[in-house]
Amino acid sequence: MRLRMRAYFLLFAAAAMIAYAVAGDGRPVVQLIIVATPLATFLYALASRRLPHQRPWAIAVGGLIVLLIGQLWWPGWLDGHVGRAEGNPAELTLSAAHGLFLMGTAMALRRRLASDVGGLVDAALLGLCAGGPLWVWGVQPHLNPDASALGELLLMIDVFAICGVIGCLIRMGAARGPGRGTIVYLLCTAVLTLAALATGRPEPLLLAFLTIGAAPIQPFAASVTEPVADGAATSRVTLRWLAVALCVNPLLTVVQIMRGDESASLMLAVGTLLVIPLVLLRFHRLSMQREQAERTLAHQASHDELTGLRNRRHMMVAIDDALAGPDGATVLLCDLDGFKPINDRYGHAAGDEALTVVAARLLAVTREDDVVGRLGGDEFLVVCPSADAGDLAARIEETLCSPMALSVGMITIGVTVGVASVPAGSGLGREAVVARADAAMYAGKAPRRAGSSPAGAPLVLP
C-alpha cells in the first residue's frame, strides 16, 4: 500500500513538473492547479474523518487557502519572484501562509511529543541556529540587489522559522511511533521550501506543495498527532552541542560586521528574537523539572513508598509536635493480627495489596487533624493532637476487622490497638509515649493468645 502510494505520488509529481516546464504562457494555470492540490487533499482528509485531531490540520488548511488566494490575485507571481525579498503584498501572503503552517506544525508536535517537550525545544533551537549559516551562505548571495528592508526581514524570518520547523520534524521522526511517512513528507516540504527561498527558483516550491498535499492521505497520518512515549532526556553532550549552536549566529554576525555587511545586525536581531523565547521556555521547563524532583524527594523522605502514608521519621516529628501542643496527645499503635498467613499463602503481592487497603481504611476512619503513618511491616501509628481520642480505637478495630476484597479473594484480618494518652505538660518524650502504646498493644495480644480476649479489642494505657 505504501509503495503504491509513493509510486502514485512520484508519477503525479513528475507529470506536474513536466506540465509546468512545457506550459509556456499557461504556467500560471499549472501553478494554480498545483497550489490547489494540497488544499483538496487536506479537505478530503478532514471531511472523511481520517484526521481525528483536526485543529492542527485545519490551521494548515488556512495557510493553503491564503496561498490559493495569493495565486488567484497575483497569477504567475512565483516565476522570478520567489526569494527576491521585494517586500510586496505577494510576499506578505507567502509569509502569512508559512506562519499558519508553523502554528499547525507546532500544535501537532506538542501533542505527539508531550512527554519530551525539552527535547522538542532543543531541536527547534538547533534548527534556528542553523538558519544563520544558511542565510549567510545560501540565501544572501542570491538576493536581489534592489531587495527592500521589509522583504529581507520577511525572507529572513521565513528562513529561520522553517529551519526551526525542520529541527522539530527531525526530532518528531526520531521518536518511536507510527506516522513517520507523513512526517517525512512534511520534512520534504520544509526542505524544498528552503531550497526555493535560497535559489529563487519556483520549482522546489511547487514540489513542496505536492509533498505537503501527500502528507494527510498517508495510511497513518492520524498518528502524527497522537502522543508517543519517548522518554529521551537531554544529556550533557546535547546541552554542550546546544551551547555551541547558540554561539554560531553571534560569531557569524561578528564576521559579517568586520566585512562591512550592513545586514549582519538584522540577522543577529532576527535570530536572537526567535531564539530567546525558546531559551526561556527551556529554562522554564528545567525549573519545573527541578521543582518536581524536589517535591518528589520531599514526598519520598516523609512518606511510605507502598501505602503513601507518613513514614516512621515523619511520625516521630508528628508526636513531638503533638506533645508540644496545649491539649496533650494520644498515640495509637495498630498491629495487624493474622497478616503473616496472607503472605505465606498468597504471596507478598497480596500482602502489599492488603496493606494498601488497611492504609486507605485508616485514612477514612481517622479525623482531619490526626496523622496516620506506617512504622514498617504490619504496624501502623495514629497520632492525635489531643489527650482524648474518643472512640477512635474502637472505630479502627471495627473497620480493619471487616472483610476486604483483594485480587486473590475475600480475606479477614484482625488488629490490636495500643493507646497511650498523654496530657499537656507531662514532660514525656516521644520514646516514652511510643513505649506506652507498644506496651498496651502487647498487653492486648497476650490474653488474645490465651483465648480470653476478643480479636482486635483495643487496650488503653494512661
Contact 342, 437 (CB under 8 A): no
350 lies in the same domain as 256: no
**304 within some domain:** no
339-365 confidence digits (pLDDT tens): 988 988 889 999 999 999 999 999 999
162 close to 190: Cβ distance less than 8 angstroms: yes
Predicted local distance difference test score (pLDDT) of residue 2: 66
From residue 17, alpha-carbon distances to 205, 269, 295, 403 in Å are 11, 38, 59, 77
The H or E element containing residue 100 is helix 89-112
| 303 is a domain residue | no
State mean pLDDT over 312-334: 91
Inter-residue contact 107 to 59 (CB < 8 Å): yes
Q: Is the pLDDT of residue 447 over 70?
A: no
241/191 same-domain check:
yes
- Residue 383: pLDDT band with limits 50, 70, 90: very high
* DSSP string computed for 389-413: -TTHHHHHHHHHTS-EEETTEEE--
390: left (phi over 0), alpha (psi -120 to 50) or beta: left
pLDDT tens-digit map of 216-240 = 888 888 888 877 765 444 444 466 7
Burial of residue 407, with CB atoms counted within 10 A of its CB: 0-12 exposed, 13-18 middle, 19 or more buried: exposed
Which of 297, 329, 352 terminates a domain? The answer is 297
- The answer to whether 78 and 31 are in contact (CB under 8 A) is yes
- Among 269, 297, 325, residue at a domain's last position: 297
Query: What pLDDT does residue 395 have?
Result: 92
Comparing CA positions, the residue from 353, 458, 329, 352 lying closest to residue 399 is 458
Specify the 3-state DSSP secondary structure of 370.
coil
Same domain, residue pair 50 and 161: yes
Task: Answer whether residue 307 is part of any domain.
Answer: no
State the pLDDT confidence band at 455, using cuts at 50, 70 and 90.
Answer: very low
Higher pLDDT, 33 or 246: 33
What are the backbone angles phi and psi of residue 43, rounded to the nearest 5°? -65, -40
Residue 58 C-alpha cell reads as: 485545519
Question: Is 68 among the domain residues?
Answer: yes
Within this chain, do residues 131 and 72 fall inside the same structural domain, yes or no? yes
Is 163 in the same domain as 201?
yes
Which of 297, 329, 348 is at the close of a domain? 297
Domain span holding position 360? 312-461
Phi, psi of 214 (to 5 degrees): -80, -20
pLDDT of residue 218: 83
Q: What pLDDT shows up at residue 141?
A: 77
Strand-strand pairing, 414-422 and 459-461:
parallel
Do residues 228 and 261 both lie within one domain?
yes
Question: Do 417 and 282 have their domain in common?
Answer: no
Q: Is residue 441 in a domain? A: yes
70 domain residue, yes or no: yes
- In a shared domain, residues 366 and 437: yes
Q: Do residue 195 and residue 221 come from a single domain? A: yes
Closest by CA position to 84, among listed 184, 205, 178: 205
Residue 456: what pLDDT? 42
pLDDT of residue 258: 74
Count: domains in the chain: 2
CATH code: domain of residue 383: 3.30.70.270
Inside any domain, residue 410: yes
- Residues 350 and 436 both lie in one domain: yes
Are 16 and 62 in a shared domain? Answer: yes
DSSP alpha helix (H) spans, 227-263: 236-258
Same domain, 264 and 344: no
Which residues are CB-contacts of 18 (< 8 A; sequence separation ≥ 6)? Answer: none
> What whole-number percentage of the chain has pLDDT above 90?
22
Residue 302 is assigned to a structural domain of this protein: no
